[in-house]
Amino acid sequence: MAERGVALELAGVSAGYGETVVIENVDLTLSAGDTLSIVGRNGVGKTTLLATLMGHTTLHAGRILLDGIDIARWSVHRRVRHGLGFVPQEREIFSSLTVRENLAVAARPGHWTLASVFDLFPRLAERQAGRGDELSGGEQQMLAIGRALVGNPGVLLMDEPSEGLAPVIVEELVRAVRRLAATQGLTMILVEQNARLALALAPRTIVMDRGRIVHDGESAVLRDDPATLERLFGVAGR
C-alpha cells in the first residue's frame, strides 16, 4: 500500500489569547484519512487547540503545516479555502436563514453537496425549509456539521458535537461520524468530553491537560486501561 501523506502537522505550537499562553509546545502529526479524538477535562485547551488550527487565537510559537504548507500566519478565510473545516462548540448557525440557506452559503465545489449532506442527515432533509432558530439542538448540530462538510474540507475539526444532546440524537451523530471516518481521504479531529465515545470513534486518542498533550496512543489500549484513563482524565469510562 502506498504511504499516505501527512495531512496536518503541528510542531512546537504555543498559542492563546493575547499575551496569555493556553496551549504549550504541542506536537501532533496526522496522516491523510486519519481520525483522532482529543479528550481532557474542562478548560485544558481542547477548544483553543482547534481554534489555533483555524487561526482564531494568538500564535506564540510553532509551525502548523496543512498538506506540507505552513498556514500558521494565514487568515481564517484562507485556511478554510485551503481545506480546513470547523464545527464550533457553539454551532454558530445563522438563525434567520433556513437549513438549506445555511448550507448554500458555505458550499464549495466538491464531493459534499446539499444532497449528500441530506443523505447523511435525513432529519435535516425533512427540516430543510426550517429556520435556524426553529431547529432543535440536535438538528442545529447536524446543520453545523453539514455546513462544514459542504465546504469540502480535507481536514474536519469538530468541537464536542455530542454536548448537551439526548442519547438518541447522539446515536444519530455517531452513525454520521462513523460514515465520515470511513470517507476516503477525509482527516478528522474530534474533541469529545465523553471519553467512551471518543475512544470508540477514533483509533487514536490524545489526552490534554493544562495546555499540553499528556498522552497520545491507540484508543483500544486506553479503553482497556481504565486506571490510566482515570489518572489522565479523571472520569474513567464515562
Ligand X SMILES: Nc1ncnc2c1ncn2[C@@H]1O[C@H](COP(=O)(O)OP(=O)(O)O)[C@@H](O)[C@H]1O
Residues that bind Mg ion (CB under 5 A): 46-47
3-state secondary structure of 129: coil
Q: Which residues contact 12 (CB under 8 A, 6 or more apart)?
A: 25, 26, 27, 61, 62, 63
Q: Which does 48 bind (CB under 5 to 8 A by kind): Mg ion, ligand X, none?
A: ligand X
Residue 31, H or E segment:
strand 20-31
40 or 161, CB closer to ligand X?
40
Should residue 162 be labelled a site residue for ligand X when binding is judged by CB under 6 A? no
The site string for ligand X over 1-40 (x = CB under 6 A, - otherwise) reads ----------------x--x-x-----------------x
CB of 88 to ligand X, least distance (A): 11
26 or 186, CB closer to ligand X?
26
Query: Which range binds ligand X by CB under 6 A, 46-54, 99-107, 179-187, 222-230?
Result: 46-54
For residue 180, the Cα-to-chain-centroid distance in whole angstroms is 11
CB of 49 to Mg ion, least distance (A): 9
Phi, psi angle pair for 23, to nearest 5°: -105, 140
User: What does the alpha-carbon distance between residue 25 and residue 40 come to, in Å, rounded to a whole number?
Assistant: 17
CB of 45 to ligand X, least distance (A): 4
Residue 164 amino acid letter: G
| CA distances to 65, 138, 164, 189, 228 from 167, in Å | 36, 10, 9, 22, 26
3-state secondary structure of 50: helix
HSE (side-chain half, CA atoms, 13 Å) at 92: 10
Should residue 47 be labelled a site residue for ligand X when binding is judged by CB under 6 A? yes
User: What does the alpha-carbon distance between residue 200 and residue 48 come to, in Å, rounded to a whole number?
Assistant: 23
Should residue 43 be labelled a site residue for ligand X when binding is judged by CB under 6 A? yes
Should residue 154 be labelled a site residue for ligand X when binding is judged by CB under 6 A? no
Should residue 215 be labelled a site residue for ligand X when binding is judged by CB under 6 A? no
Should residue 48 be labelled a site residue for ligand X when binding is judged by CB under 6 A? yes
Residue ranges in contact with ligand X by CB under 6 A: 17, 20, 22, 40, 42-48
